[in-house]
Structure 1
Amino acid sequence: MVDSSSAERDLSEWRHFLGRLGEDARATSVYKMKLSGPAPHKLSLYPQSLRYGDPAIGEDILAGVWHIGQSELKLAPDASPWSVPNPSRHFADRLHRFEWMRHLMAVGPKGHRRARELLTDWVAHFGKWNGFVWRLPVTTERVWNWLVAGPILLENHGADSEVMNSLMRQMRHLQHSTGEYPEPIAVLKSLFTQLAMAFAADEGERRIASLEAQLEFTLNDQILADGGHISRNPEMVLNVLLDLQTIDDLYLRTGRPTLSFVAKMMPRIAGMLKFLRLSDGGLPIMNGSSEGNREDIKNALYPYSDTRAFSFATKTGIHKLEAEGTRMTLDAGHAPPGEFGTGAHAGCLALELEDQGERIITNCGSHVDVPPVWSGATRRTSGHSTLAVTGFDASQFVPVRSMGLQAPVGPTGVSAKRMEEKDTIWIDSQHSGWKDTHGLVYRRRLYMDGDGRRLTGEDTLFRPLSAGLTEDTEAIPYDIRFHMHPSVTLRPEEPDGHHIRIILPSGAAWVFKTKHERKSIERTVYLARGKVEKSWQLVLSGDADPNGDASNPANIVQWAFVKVV
């Protein structure tokens, strides 16, 4: 499955970054017997997905070219990707989820024919059992994607076909294993998939009612009062809303009323998605989110064009400053509970800035198609546009034993106050992420002019008066980072080089201003578009006085981004 020359390193990275979630599914001979059973003669109803299929990607697949993240697999047009070693376990993991199926569907009849061929070949290789590809999250997404493409993919396969028998074996596997699975986000997706299958296979009212109760309980556990997801990942908001809309459509098509908890929840989630959506139609980059698929976001929000707008999400902990097409987003929330935090980031008080839909400041981000070694690295505080005490994250990463992974905890003392006066808007925020280790509290104050042409910031490390003085007077090094989006160009301003010009693709220009002496332009990476892209970051470095406060120049840095063109 993986090229033998890199198999050992690949396996080591896989185990480190996937933990128990990367372990092969286990099945005794008795368990495998439980998966056997009759298949329906025909599926009666298929879910209609709102997710976008890109015909250009489908054409690549028809040509035998498979792209996932940075990796590429080239085959003869009629060859199967399961019949050759894959570039990595991560590549194979993504491949076996069948998310690429919608791109083949978008091509038309020739894509449909190829999809059926690939499905039949997959069943011949893996249809009865394979520990790696039958892991619950992979099986869940694969079955969902098969059902969504069902009118083309599954029609004309009788009850005695290998395809229908494999589908039902996988569904029984989900039914038997979901309740014991340790990762709650995968459990939610499994419930969506099982409910869709219950309609497709006419499994009866008792089965549907049981799944409805489980789904209600799980959603109430994961969706916050402001519509955000408990993981604080913006992409999860999009995914849950799309899946809820798909399930609700099944109810409408069978003449059933919308489930009451779904009717209450969908507008709330849509309001959060509308709040999160940036001017370019994508999502902010935080806690494992990518930029998202803009067509998916547009489709998800289409029924909710009149949903009210708001300026901050109280439960999710995200604030916005917005004026005349300039938007600043601030992550002012603490880490989610551990079982939901294995993809969360230590990016408290990180900001993002955009101008008329063009991203300027961002974070390194993440993407499901990027190898986990990269996504793991960008979870650290240094991968975000905020202050980091050198060698220490704002949140402490601790083990989540049920999953064999780490999740951030904290920081404590997170607060953010939004104020408006005349033509100025500002946010005063802070957290105590380094109070226990260094005795210092981090404060970030942000001001936006009413015309949106200037964002001013002040970053401070201070020792609270209640802590008294410390005898350890060794300076505490720190860095303030501003990660730039790969689309922008940086150019130091002459003659003194104190200012740095930021040029956007449209030709608009901003200038970064600061009197702070220790500044540099350094390389960084950006993952949020599904590949590892090189970019630049502005870095302001300093050494804080452990007994200092806002009156000590060593502990305070002032800066501004000013639009000049």
Structure 2
Amino acid sequence: MTPPPFLRPLAHAVFRLPLYGLTLKANPPEALALGPADPWPGDGERAQRLLSGDEALSNPHDFNELSDIRAQGDPLANAWARQRLRAWLDSQRRWSEDAWAPETIGIRLANWLKHAPWLLDESQPGLSFDLKSAASIQAKHLARTISWAPGGRPRLAAAKGLMLWALAEGNDVLLEQAARILAEEVKTQIHPDGGHVSRSPALHLQVLKDLIDLKIWLNALNRELFDGLQSAMDRMGPMVRFFRMGNGTLAHFNDTGEIPAAQVSLALALAGARGKAMASAPHSGFERLSAGRALVLMDTGRPALDGHAHAGTLSFEMTVGRQRIVGNMGAAPLQHPAWRQALKHTAAHSTVTVGNTDSAPLSVEVERQEDQGAVWVNASHDGYQASHGLLHKRRLHLDAQGTMLRGEDSLEGKEGIEVALRFHLDPTVQAALSGDAQAVLLKLGDGAGWRFRAKGVAIELEGSVFKSGDDPPKRSQQIVLKGATGQGGALVKWAFDSLGKR
């Protein structure tokens, strides 16, 4: 049962009492039944930055860095991880709000267990005993408070950690509780088209990885899969293919930065996903236009009501082969709040901005047509209706050869409203404005040439950036069309067309 918010301070006061700690005491298991080694490769370079002090931990309580330390493969790095674990266990014996949040406990337990084979050195039996004691206590508290975890991936992560501990400890009561919660979460979080409710490709991939971990452990320890696990994975795998662009990474919508293509491929392989990418994901709110070597992904849904949502309705990303041409500006982690907020704005997306405000649609309408290999998508949203009295409509057409993307953006409603249409170019794209300001010549990273044109409006080139994770922002450019609505609104026609190799 989840207590109402006004009772949380009282519950927290109880958790801080020494008497509450006594209710969590239990004899730790003598041995742990562990699943296979963690299948997800870490970042050895990040581990080196952590060891040298050039990078700080984003969350000192979740131990997400263990995969990076393992990737470093260095005895000194392993020793650093054990020393950090020892210090954490000594300093976090009693409840605290940050360290003992349900989702944090779940992620921490999963990380400890998946890395236990190398983390718990036989030469340090005291460390092994103390970790098992702490994990047993935290799992008991997690079982009591798991419903307090926020909805979405945090609650699923909390239940995942509880299930892995139940499997390791051989606790059937906790296992049944975790299985029941996980079955309900995959039912509510995964749409019929396979998309995650967050509408975030990055979070979608993370949840799929969570489910893969659970299946691997359940199979290895000869336990039955919980209800809905396999069905959810069968739907989520093709949706990863839906989000995967020509360069192998995921489209940059809703808190998604640059995800290594190898990580995407590994998740698909471990999920055993055989289904092809759909053309349309109506429940998740995205459309996929594909022809020749060109691929366009368009956001045609309402923003989710969570911290991952960006104001990017009707924005799109485009790749040709492995070259990204147009997209959004990326994402930033929680420890960079200024960047994180800036990248959520509509202006950070390849779409229309009205009056330098963010769109907030209540309704999005979509229509799709295909004919002999060509694809049309007509979409509209009312995200500026309340603020400016305008309806935004966007029409995209990709020809059958994948050599031309044509678009129309219209605004219907009040006149005299300033608007801007933006196309954020990939950092690898070189752009030059034509002398009459009616076209932009684009040179892609592979040497291919493309051209952007627009009718009836001057074209400007402005600076832009692409941001991903803790990496410094990469400089890029954006094509900007500015103007104001006239009587009845405004209409802009534009196109990207291939000029071939140079």
TM-score (norm 2): 0.89
Given the alignment of the two structures, is residue 56 of structure 1 paired with residue 37 of structure 2, yes or no? Answer: no
Which of 14, 28, 34 is residue 16 of structure 2 equivalent to? 28
- Aligned equivalents of 1:325 and 1:351: distance in 2? 17
Task: Quote the residue 2:91 is aligned against.
Answer: 125
Per the alignment, residue 38 of structure 1 pairs with: 27
Gaps of 5+ in 1: 1-20, 68-90, 396-410, 464-472, 550-554
Following TM superposition, by how much is the alpha carbon of 1:57 offset from its aligned partner in structure 2, in angstroms? 2.9
Shift in CA distance, 354/251, structure 1 to aligned 2, threshold 3 Å: same
| Residues 140 and 373 of structure 1: CA distance in aligned 2, closer, same or farther (over 3 Å) | farther
Q: Which string of whole-angstrom CA distances, capped at 9 and with x for unpartnered residues, describes residues 431-486 of structure 1?
A: 122223333211111111211111111100113xxxxxxxxx65011111111222
CA displacement 1:43-85 (0-9 Å, x = unmatched): 12146433221233334444x2443xxxxxxxxxxxxxxxxxx
1:359 to 306, 324, 334: 324
Task: Give the share of equivalent positions with the same residue, in percent.
Answer: 27
Q: What is the TM-score of this pair, normalised by structure 1?
A: 0.80
Question: Contact between 1:387 and 1:480, CA under 8 Å: does it hold in 2?
Answer: yes
- Per the alignment, residue 145 of structure 2 pairs with 177
CA gap of 1:310–1:512, structure 2 versus 1, over 3 A, is same
CA RMSD of aligned residues (A): 2.4
- After TM superposition, list the pairs within 5 Å mapping 1:207-222 onto structure 2: 207-222=174-189
- 1:355-379 superposed Cα distances (whole Å, 9 cap, x missing partner): 1122111112214366122112221
Q: Structure 1 residues 352, 520: CA separation in 2 closer, same or farther (over 3 Å shift)? A: same
SS at match of 2:421: strand
The residue number in structure 1 matching 2:259 is 292
- For 1:168, the aligned partner's letter is S
The separation in 1 between residues aligned to 2:468 and 2:99, in whole angstroms, is 25
In the alignment, what sits opposite 1:101? Answer: 66
Deviation at 1:243, TM superposition (A): 1.2
CA distance in 1 between partners of 2:16 and 2:323 (Å): 54
Task: Please identify runs of 4+ aligned residues in structure 1 that moved more than 6 A.
Answer: none
Instruction: Give, in angstroms, the shift of residue 160 of structure 1.
Output: 8.2
2:162 equivalent in structure 1:
194
**2:286 matched residue in structure 1:** 318
Corresponding letter in the other structure for 1:559: W
Aligned residues: 484
Q: Tell me what 1:88 maps to.
A: none
1:418 corresponding residue in structure 2 = 368
1:560 is aligned to: 495
Amino acid at match of 2:16: T
SS at match of 1:263: helix
Q: Which whole-Å CA distance do the structure 1 matches of 2:230 and 2:151 have between them?
A: 26
Q: 1:160 to 1:274 in 2, by over 3 A?
A: closer
CA distance in structure 1 between the aligned counterparts of 2:144 and 2:422, rounded to whole angstroms:
47
| Cα distance in structure 2, aligned partners of 1:264 and 1:489 | 44
Name the aligned partner's letter for residue 488 of structure 2. Answer: G
SS, match of residue 161 in structure 1: helix
Q: Give the stretch that moved more between structures: 254-263 or 447-456.
A: 254-263
1:49 match: secondary structure: coil
Q: Is the 8 A contact 1:39 1:159 kept in 2?
A: no
* 1:81 alignment counterpart: none
Instruction: State whether residues 40 and 159 of structure 1, in contact with CA within 8 Å, keep that contact through their aligned partners in structure 2.
Output: no
What's 2:403 paired with? 453
The one of the two structures with greater contact order (alpha-carbon pairs below 8 A, sep at least 6) is 1
SS at 1:283 equivalent: coil
CA distance in 2, matches of 1:257, 1:188: 18
- Which residue of structure 2 aligns with residue 165 of structure 1? 133
Aligned letter for 2:180?
A
2:234 maps to amino acid: P
Is contact 2:182-2:226 (8 Å) kept?
no
Q: What is residue 240 of structure 1 aligned with on the other side? A: 207
Displacement after TM superposition at 1:523 (Å): 2.2
- Correspondence for 2:221: 254
8 A Cα contact 1:326 1:356, kept in partner: yes
* 1:42–1:159 CA contact under 8 A, matched in 2: no
1:499 pairs, out of 431, 439, 457, with 439
Tell me, in whole angstroms, the C-alpha distance in 2 between the residues paired with 1:159 and 1:483. Answer: 51
Counterpart of 1:514 in 2: which secondary structure?
A: strand
**Contact 2:298–2:315, Cα closer than 8 Å, also in 1:** yes
CA contact (8 A) 1:133 1:139 kept: yes
In the alignment, does 2:231 pair up with 1:282? no
Q: CA deviation at 1:195?
A: 0.1
- Range 255-264 or range 237-246, more displaced: 255-264
| Unmatched 5+ stretches in structure 2 | 1-7
Match of 1:486 in 2: 427
Deviation at residue 279 of structure 1 after TM alignment = 1.7
Quick one: which amino acid aligns to residue 28 of structure 1? R
* Residue aligning to 1:87: none
When residues 280 and 519 of structure 1 are mapped into structure 2, their CA distance, relative to the original with a 3 A threshold, is same
Structure 2: distance between partners of 1:192 and 1:560 = 47
**What is the CA-CA distance between 1:324 and the residue it aligns to?**
1.4
Question: In structure 2, what residue type is equivalent to 1:306?
Answer: R
Distance 1:527 1:94, change over 3 A: farther
Q: Which residue of 1 aligns with 2:103?
A: 137
